[in-house]
């Protein structure tokens, strides 16, 4: 779902995404007591995910265009059911597990003045900012051959990430609109990320 409020100089957006995951696990287990020496441990389990977010921002006219500072808060939760494998002497029983991720993004964007020609028009937006990402995830707890085991899910518990990117919206003629953008970032977890997207739409 999506809700938006736009008063020109100020704007607010709220979004909510939720869904169900259906997972299927297949794991080969060596066992020299069975024909072929290999068993297959099988398990089917479900999960639920949800992600609400809210964005607040303003528009400030400047000489080069419009300056748009904004703040976005987002939560992502993933909740896995417990499950028990079947089909082998080494079946694994895994406890239910929750994954919680909290994200705050501060962004400063500059929407440049639109450029137009007799056949085309486009606008470019430059942006940069910082993400703060905190993760709170349960350990993976399971039982294998009657023994309890537990290990961390992995990943940094807190990451700061700087990013920069650009977006372009262009009217390319014949009722078609091109929206494209990219973003590159580097975080305190030493991860360098690059994301890009492009969409071409036509009005009928």
The first and second tokens of residue 21, run together, are 């995951």
Task: Give residue 50's pLDDT band: very low, low, confident or very high (50, 70, 90).
Answer: very high
What residue ranges define each of the domains in the chain, with the CATH number in brackets?
2-202 (2.40.128.130)
Residue in the structure block whose two tokens are 């400030």:
60
Q: How far apart are CA 3 and CA 14, in angstroms?
A: 5
- Given a cut of 80, whether residue 145 has pLDDT beyond it is no
Task: Specify which residues 44 forms β-bridges with.
Answer: 24
- Given a cut of 90, whether residue 41 has pLDDT beyond it is no
pLDDT tens digits for range 109-122? 999 988 888 778 88
Neighbours of 94 (CB within 10 A): 20
pLDDT, position 116: 84
pLDDT tens digits for range 68-84? 999 999 999 999 888 88
Q: How far apart are CA 80 and CA 41, in angstroms?
A: 19
pTM: 0.80
Q: Rounded to whole angstroms, what are the CA distances from 136 to 12, 54, 195?
A: 27, 20, 25
Average pLDDT over residues 84-101: 85
Residue in the structure block whose two tokens are 């809700």:
3
Q: How far apart are CA 64 and CA 110, in angstroms?
A: 8
Task: Give residue 108's pLDDT band: very low, low, confident or very high (50, 70, 90).
Answer: very high
Average pLDDT over residues 170-187: 91
Among candidate residues 70, 72, 58, the one with its CA nearest the CA of residue 105: 72
Task: Give residue 138's pLDDT band: very low, low, confident or very high (50, 70, 90).
Answer: confident
Average pLDDT over residues 181-198: 95
């Amino acid at each position: 779902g999506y809700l938006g409020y736009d008063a020109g100089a100020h704007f607010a957006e709220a979004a909510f995404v939720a869904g169900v995951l259906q997972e299927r696990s297949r794991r080969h287990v060596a066992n020299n007591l069975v024909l072929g020496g290999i068993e297959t441990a099988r398990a089917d389990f479900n999960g639920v995910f949800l992600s609400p977010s809210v964005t607040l921002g303003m528009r400030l006219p400047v000489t080069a265009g419009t300056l748009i500072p904004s703040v976005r808060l987002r939560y992502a939760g993933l909740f896995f059911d417990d499950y028990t494998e079947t089909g082998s002497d080494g079946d694994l029983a895994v406890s239910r597990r929750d994954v919680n991720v909290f994200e705050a993004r501060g962004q400063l964007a500059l929407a440049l003045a639109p450029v137009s020609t007799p056949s085309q028009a486009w606008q470019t937006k430059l942006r940069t900012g910082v993400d703060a990402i905190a993760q709170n995830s349960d350990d993976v707890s399971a039982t294998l051959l009657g023994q309890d085991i537990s290990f961390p899910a992995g990943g940094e518990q807190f990451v700061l990430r700087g990013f920069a990117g650009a977006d372009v919206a262009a009217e390319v003629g014949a009722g078609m609109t091109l929206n494209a953008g990219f973003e590159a970032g580097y975080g305190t977890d030493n991860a360098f990320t690059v994301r890009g997207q492009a969409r071409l739409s036509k009005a009928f």
